[in-house]
Amino acid sequence: MNTTDLVLSNESFFKNALCENEVKWEQESQFAIQALSNEYCANAVMSNPASLQNAIINVAAVGISLNPALKHAYLVPRAVKKGQAPVICLDISYMGLLHIAMQSGSIKWGQAKIVYANDTYINNGIDKAPTHNQDTFSKDKGPVIGVYCTVKTPDGDYLTEEMDVDALHKVEASSKAANGPWKTWREEMQRKTVVKRASKYWPKIERLSHAIEALNYHEGLDDLTPTAHEREINIEYQGQDMRLEGVPDASALEPKKRIDKELMQKSLTALVQNLNDDDESGIYETWTELDEQEKTHLWRQFNSKQQKRIREVSEKNKRAA
């Protein structure tokens, strides 16, 4: 049995897992055969046909096309351990992740951009897109200093996630793909990393969650949750007007305070319950018991609808006072 036969033998698995009718087996099987046509990929398929089957099932379950013209997803060989035969994995680009999010209604639109040392980048705060000025065609942009992802939610709010170059290096160092695409397509991987992290704060969509789980598995990034240190309040991130009662100028806050994780979990649980019950007094009481840094820390744990409701309740009580 050759590579083509192995691909075609997975038709029933593909159709049973299919979640998006726009993705057709007749086209995707040909894209898969084309992607696996070189000798290295063919050897990986023959050595581990189960990995090909898993990758094809993921194509169907995620609902993403392997069409090379779209640049959304690829079948790629990855070495699991030194000395072992490579496996075939589904790799989804940052454009593919944003496409899934937009197509499934999690966001209206989104973009991921690299920030260079000679750019001007300003975080304009919650619900506002950042300002990013760049001499696009300059040959002297300087080194990469960070990356960000900005999306617009179905409610019309803007959400922005940022990562500095140190955070990106930590992700690269922990990836099984560190000697592959991180070497040859570093900026694409940096964009994908920030999109994956940003997606935690978007409305949850099963297709997108499945896509990120598949990526994290074969990249060795089972948990991209920021560490406790990374979740400490960063004074640069605080430079934003949250427009909520009781939140002063963020530049006056102390950047070194450590957050009480037990208190944060209790407050988060209480606020989510109050939001689900639409209990205005509960929302306001729980929120106002927190200090400014605790509010800032918790804010990004909520989706856009929850943030909007907290703001409405805060502003309503401020007017009533």
Name the average pLDDT for the chain: 81
- The model's pLDDT over 232-279, given as tens digits with 9 standing for 90+, comes to 323 223 333 333 333 333 333 344 445 566 677 777 778 877 887 888
The answer to whether the beta carbons of residues 211 and 100 sit under 8 Å apart is: yes
Picking from 63, 52, 11, the residue whose alpha carbon sits closest to that of residue 209 is: 63
Q: Give 122's pLDDT tier (boundaries 50, 70, 90).
A: very high
Residue listed under structure tokens 């397509």? 185
The Cα diameter of the chain in Å comes to 76
Distance CA 55, CA 51 (A): 6
Given the DSSP bridges, would you call strands 131-133 and 120-122 parallel, antiparallel or unpaired? antiparallel
- Please tell me the predicted confidence (pLDDT) of residue 304: 66
Distance CA 41, CA 48 (A): 11
Q: Which residues pair with 160 in a beta bridge?
A: 150
Q: Please tell me which of 67-81, 218-232, 273-287, 296-310 the model is most confident about, judged by mean pLDDT.
A: 67-81
The arithmetic mean of pLDDT across residues 203-207, rounded, is 85
pTM confidence score: 0.68
Distance CA 314, CA 301 (A): 17
- Please tell me the predicted confidence (pLDDT) of residue 259: 59
The arithmetic mean of pLDDT across residues 193-210, rounded, is 89
